[in-house]
Amino acid sequence: NATTSQAQNYSIFSLNNASSTSPILTALYNGNIGIGTSTPQWNFQIAGTRPSLALTDTSAAANQKHWLFSSQGGNLYIGTSTDAFATSTIAALTINNSGQLGIGTTSPGALFSVHGNGLFSGNISAANLIATGTASFGTTTLTNLIVTNTSTSTFTGGLGVGTSTPFGGALLTVGTSSP
């Protein structure tokens, strides 16, 4: 029976590698379990160079069984791997050490970065919407579209209604791509 908080950190079980004194698995008296560390600080801690955790669904189809969680350089990556764990896809989700969240990218450039197409079935609210490419608003009839310029900057480019290619320098093109 441990009588001090120090005793809570004593190892009650340790499994070491035969060729070194580094622990493979450690269980402390306080209940903390460590893989790759003899002093786990949390209930379950995996330590190492680029540590990874794999979740495997043995009933899934070939090369669709494994999700990997990995900590590399202070960033958290979640991705998939082949059955041989030989290749991994680009991270499906990344959280970098600045708190930026990326989907489909390992280097998010903003608080929330999506690389690839997205689908939102609900409403999207944004204080500012900046399109660095083409902004498309669905294939159904748009009930109301309000475009305002409340800043001192000038609206450059074109707004097409009924066309995907607004004409040249025209601010508004309706139904055709040329005058």
What single string gives the DSSP state of each residue in 52-101? Answer: EEEEE-TTSPTT-SEEEEEEETTEEEEEEE-TTS--BPSPSEEE-TTS-E
Q: What is the model's pLDDT at position 149?
A: 56
**Token digits of residue 162:** 């009924």
Q: What is the model's pLDDT at position 1?
A: 40
| Amino acid at site 150 | T
pTM over 0.85: no
φ, ψ for residue 8, nearest 5 deg: -65, -25
For 17, 130, 142, 157, 166, the CA distances from 133, given in Å and listed in that order, are 54, 9, 20, 11, 14
Label residue 116 left, alpha or beta by phi (over 0 means left) and psi (-120 to 50 means alpha).
Answer: left
Q: What is the model's pLDDT at position 2?
A: 43
Task: Quote the CA–CA distance of 152 and 140 in Å, as a whole number.
Answer: 33
Q: What is the model's pLDDT at position 49?
A: 87
**Token digits of residue 96:** 């970098």
What residues form DSSP beta bridges with 159? 172
Q: What is the model's pLDDT at position 139?
A: 60
Q: Each residue's pLDDT tens digit in the chain (179 positions)?
A: 444 556 677 788 888 877 877 788 999 999 999 999 989 999 999 998 888 888 889 898 888 888 888 888 889 998 888 877 665 667 889 999 999 999 988 899 999 999 888 887 887 777 777 766 666 666 655 555 555 555 655 555 666 666 666 666 555 655 554 54
Q: What is the model's pLDDT at position 117?
A: 83
Q: What is the model's pLDDT at position 95?
A: 94
- Across the beta sheet with 44-46, what order do the strands follow? 11-16, 23-28, 33-35, 44-46
